[in-house]
Amino acid sequence: MSSGLFALLDDVAALAKVAAAALDDAAAQATKAGAKAAGIVIDDAAVTPRYAVGFAAERELPIIWKIALGSLKNKLIFLLPAALVLSLVAPWAITPLLMAGGAYLCFEGFEKVYELVVPHAHHDEATSEGGTGILDARQLEDQKIAGAIKTDFILSAEIMAITLSTITASSFWMQALVLAVVGLGMTVLVYGVVALIVKADDAGVALARSSILPVRLLGRGLVSGMPPFLKLLSAVGTAAMLWVGGGIIIHGLAGYGLAGIEHVIHDIAIAIGRAGPALTSVLEWLTTAAASALFGLVVGGLCLVGMHVIVEPVLKARRGSGAKAAAAEAERH
């Protein structure tokens, strides 16, 4: 009886060791993948704050919370199962899908730049028929959140793809565990940083009321410095869309044997890096990011032209034919 109990305890201990080893392995691989995807995380953190700018202070954290939940849903409900299924049945489809997502980022980034150069005429939604200021503000908030979640989907897809490419475990469940850990950890990191950024001015107001002079000066500095910082961050977010989207497409082309653009950018970055030995890594990164952004700007412009010249006329023609068919059906009855 006692020998059977000891044998059971040995089995339990062995299972516990295996589970602990598996968790350690998952943690190690998640850390490695997270480090490799750090660039995308920085881009994500730069892109997101602009979606909370311009709203009342009390709406900032709820907006970020909704975007964070949408990001988590993107990663764990949509992208994680899709990544696992694609890696099993159609690994060849991952690269073109990522390139399509990169083209979307380039399109979004180009639109932002185009609006700065050629401002669009905006209609006053608050005075629209049947609308109210409160309703329009809510609609604008919902549109901002939807746009942020849509952009996050592309960046999250890149994070999950990078994670999947770094996982060495062949076990399906180990891959799923590592993807889940990275998805959750990256979401908490990105949106925690974003929350700190957008609420820094409120913290500055509180510090400015302090009776301690250095604290009060720090608070005033935060209050006066955050508006230009947020504008700068918004510009960085737009640039991030372009360099991430352009970089995804350049890397994807290299995977299909069209590595000329990637090699040229790499050679230029190396040459510029040698010009400043003390800042070699920084100069190489900045050069690569700038070149990727310029490429992304070109891709975004081509996407915009394609949208207006090809996609919109086709959709308009289909809507017109559909309306004619509906009218003919109505006359028949």
158-209 per-position pLDDT tens digit: 788 777 777 766 677 888 888 888 888 889 888 888 888 888 888 888 888 8
Name the band, by pLDDT with cuts 50, 70 and 90, for residue 26.
low
Q: Is there a domain that residue 269 lies in?
A: no
Q: Is there a domain that residue 210 lies in?
A: yes
Collect all residues with Cβ–Cβ distance below 8 Å to 178 and sequence separation of at least 6: 26, 29, 30, 33, 163, 167, 169
Q: Is there a domain that residue 199 lies in?
A: yes
Q: Is there a domain that residue 246 lies in?
A: no
CA angle 90, 293, 249 (to 5 degrees): 15
pLDDT in the model for residue 16? 43
Number of domains in the chain: 1
Q: Is there a domain that residue 282 lies in?
A: no
Q: Hunting for tokens 């200021």 — which residue is that? A: 133
Q: Is there a domain that residue 323 lies in?
A: no
Collect all residues with Cβ–Cβ distance below 8 Å to 163 and sequence separation of at least 6: 30, 33, 34, 36, 37, 178, 179, 182, 183
Q: Is there a domain that residue 270 lies in?
A: no
- The span from the first CA to the last CA of the chain, in angstroms, equals 86
> What is the chain's mean pLDDT, rounded?
78
| SS (HEC) of the chain | CHHHHHHHHHHHHHHHHHHHHHHHHHHHHHHHHHHHCHHHHHHHHHHHHHHCCCCCHHHHHHHHHHHHHHHHHHHHHHHHHHHHHHHHHCHHHHHHHHHHHHHHHHHHHHHHHHHHHCCCCCCCHHHCCCCCHHHHHHHHHHHHHHHHHHHHHHHHHHHHHHHHHHCCCCCHHHHHHHHHHHHHHHHHHHHHHHHHHHCHHHHHHHHHCCCCHHHHHHHHHHHHHHHHHHHHHHHHHHHHHHHHHHHHHHHHHHHCCCCHHHHHHHHHHHHHHHHCHHHHHHHHHHHHHHHHHHHHHHHHHHHHHHHHHHHHHHHHHHHHHHHHHHHHHHHHC
Domain that holds residue 105: 9-238
286-323 per-position pLDDT tens digit: 999 999 999 999 999 999 898 888 877 877 777 766 66
Report residue 281: phi and psi, to 5°: -65, -45
pTM of the model: 0.71
The pLDDT > 70 percentage for the chain reads 75
pLDDT in the model for residue 249? 92
211-266 per-position pLDDT tens digit: 898 888 999 998 898 888 877 877 887 888 888 889 889 988 998 999 999 999 99
Cβ-based burial of 328 (10 A; exposed 0-12, middle 13-18, buried ≥19): exposed
Q: Is there a domain that residue 243 lies in?
A: no
